């Protein structure tokens, strides 16, 4: 049985790391099993260094297709062309894709057209926002996949409502939480907050990168206006996405933020450094998907700067508040969350560090 595991962007590696570990552990008792890790090269990232793989205790990919950046169509086409050549050479039994980036959809389509079975990890997530390319990628991938592994029962219900055969759907838990739980202690030992002269529970962590927030000048200016108020009450640590910095400079916002007394503007940080920072924060402000989920397990309140979320389980358990990008709404949500402080949140079922093991067991049962 040959399995190809695909990662297309940096967050995908956080999700595939526990899968690779579970596959390795299985090989000793399953000599028929072989697997390869493929990086499509969708995102070039300086942080994809050896240190990043060391953080995750993950081997370098067996293959890097090196497709690079481009428009959505260009990128999808390049991935499909390169991945088809690779699949014809390797002839795997299964292709495992994760998440919702362009590579996820492109590799799924390519494999299915060659008659190769596909398993989708993180299936069933829905924002209902068709302006998000990720939503298109999710839906297409789920329709085509032979096995759909969901992180929670809301996602399973989404697939049921879309008419997907229940026999293809398996509720296994969250592989991102597998990674978090495995490395949480190592991250805490870094004590990253001390590098900024901060105390535990006395700062916020901010991430911002979505086009709806940073590519539109009115929206970006409104968010910055809210942040200016917030940082006066709560110091902020802000690892800045390259595109976010580019747009901040273009709109004349970078120097404004750099002049604030209580914000720390950083280059992108590694996985362990980021986990160290978020684990001891008073609050997470983000438009990312993964940080919403991590906040639940860390017990850190999250305010999401979007109009919707594909991870409503984080709202259902009380960890996350989705507020959009209007300044008044952001400030009100942050101040309310700070008044309540950090509290333990109800943990979603099966977010226990064993999702990858469940996935591998199900895949092996399919041989």
Kindly report, residue by residue over 256-297, the tens digit of the pLDDT: 999 999 999 999 999 999 999 999 999 999 999 999 999 999
Q: Where are the domains of the chain?
A: 2-174+351-365, 185-340
Determine which of 44-48, 92-96, 331-335 has the lowest per-residue pLDDT on average: 44-48
Catalytic residue among 72, 195, 209, 233: 209
- For residues 153 and 311, what is the distance between their CA atoms, to the nearest angstrom? 11
Specify the pLDDT at position 164.
97
Could you give the 3-state DSSP secondary structure of residue 78?
Answer: helix
| CB atoms near residue 91 (< 10 Å) | 9
**What is the percent of the chain with per-residue pLDDT over 70, rounded to a whole number?**
98
Cα separation, 249 vs 360, in Å, equals 46
What does DSSP assign to residue 39? Answer: E
Query: For residue range 95-112, what is the model confidence (pLDDT) as tens digits?
Result: 999 999 999 999 999 999
Cβ atoms within 10 Å, residue 80:
22
| Top-level class of domain 185-340 | alpha beta
Q: So what's the pLDDT on residue 69?
A: 78
Query: Would you say residue 367 has pLDDT above 80?
Result: no
For 45-85, the pLDDT digits (tens) are: 554 567 778 889 898 899 999 887 788 899 999 999 999 99
Annotated active-site residue 209? The verdict is yes
Q: Look at residues 17, 112, 31 and name the one whose alpha carbon lies nearest to residue 61.
A: 17
Q: Does the pLDDT of residue 115 top 70, yes or no?
A: yes
CATH of domain 2-174+351-365: 3.40.50.2000
Directed axis angle between helix 10-27 and helix 355-365, to 10°? 60
**Which one is predicted more confidently, 326 or 342?**
326
Same fold, 2-174+351-365 and 185-340: yes
Q: Which residues pair with 36 in a beta bridge?
A: 4
Per-residue pLDDT of 117-160, as tens digits, reads: 999 999 999 999 999 999 999 999 999 999 999 999 999 999 99
Residue-level pLDDT at 266: 96
CA 33 to chain centroid, in Å, comes to 28
Torsion of CA 49, 54, 56, 62, to 10 degrees: 70
This model's pTM is above 0.75: yes
- C-alpha neighbours within 13 Å on the C-beta side of residue 322: 17
> CA 258, CA 275: separation in Å to the nearest integer?
24
Q: Which tens digit of pLDDT belongs to each residue from 19-47? A: 999 999 999 888 899 999 999 986 655 54
Whole-angstrom distance, CA of residue 149 vs CA of residue 121: 5
**Could you report the per-residue pLDDT of 166-217, keeping only the tens digit for each?**
999 999 999 999 999 999 999 999 999 999 999 999 999 999 999 999 999 9
Structure tokens at 71: 């428009």
Which is more confident, 60 or 234?
234
Mean pLDDT of 238-243: 94
Reference 99, options 107, 87, 89; nearest CA is 107
Rounded to 5°, the CA angle 333-336-342 comes to: 110
């Amino acid at each position: 049985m040959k399995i190809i595991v695909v990662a297309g962007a940096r967050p995908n590696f956080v999700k595939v790391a526990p899968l690779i570990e579970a596959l390795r552990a299985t090989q000793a008792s399953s000599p028929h099993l072989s697997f390869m890790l493929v990086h499509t090269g969708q995102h070039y990232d300086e942080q994809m260094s050896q240190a990043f793989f060391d953080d995750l205790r993950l081997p370098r990919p067996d293959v890097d297709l090196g497709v690079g950046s481009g428009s959505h169509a260009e990128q999808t086409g390049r991935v499909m062309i390169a991945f088809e050549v690779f699949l014809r050479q390797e002839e795997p039994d299964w292709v495992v894709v994760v998440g919702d980036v362009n590579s996820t959809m492109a590799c799924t389509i390519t494999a299915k057209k060659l008659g190769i079975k596909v398993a989708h990890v993180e299936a069933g997530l829905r924002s209902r926002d068709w302006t998000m390319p990720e939503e298109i990628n999710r839906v297409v991938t789920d329709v085509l996949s032979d096995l759909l592994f969901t992180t929670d029962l809301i996602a399973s219900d989404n697939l049921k409502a879309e008419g997907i055969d229940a026999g293809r759907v398996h509720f296994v838990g969250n592989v991102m939480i597998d990674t978090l739980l495995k490395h949480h202690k190592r991250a805490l030992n870094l004590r990253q907050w001390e590098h900024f002269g901060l105390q535990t529970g006395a700062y916020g962590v901010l991430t911002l990168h979505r086009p709806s927030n940073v590519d539109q000048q009115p929206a970006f200016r409104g968010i910055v206006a809210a942040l200016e108020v917030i940082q006066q009450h709560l110091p902020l640590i802000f690892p800045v996405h390259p595109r976010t910095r580019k747009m901040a400079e273009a709109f004349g916002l970078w120097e404004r933020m750099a002049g604030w007394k209580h914000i720390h503007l950083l280059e992108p940080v590694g996985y362990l450094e980021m986990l160290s920072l978020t684990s001891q924060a008073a609050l997470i402000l983000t438009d990312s998907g993964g940080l919403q989920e991590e906040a639940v397990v860390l017990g850190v309140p999250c305010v999401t700067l979007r109009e919707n979320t594909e991870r409503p389980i984080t709202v259902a358990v009380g960890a996350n508040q989705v507020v959009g990008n209007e300044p008044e709404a952001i400030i009100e949500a942050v101040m309310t969350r700070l008044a309540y402080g950090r509290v333990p949140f109800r943990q979603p079922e099966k977010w226990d560090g064993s999702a990858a093991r469940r996935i591998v067991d199900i895949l092996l049962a399919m041989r």
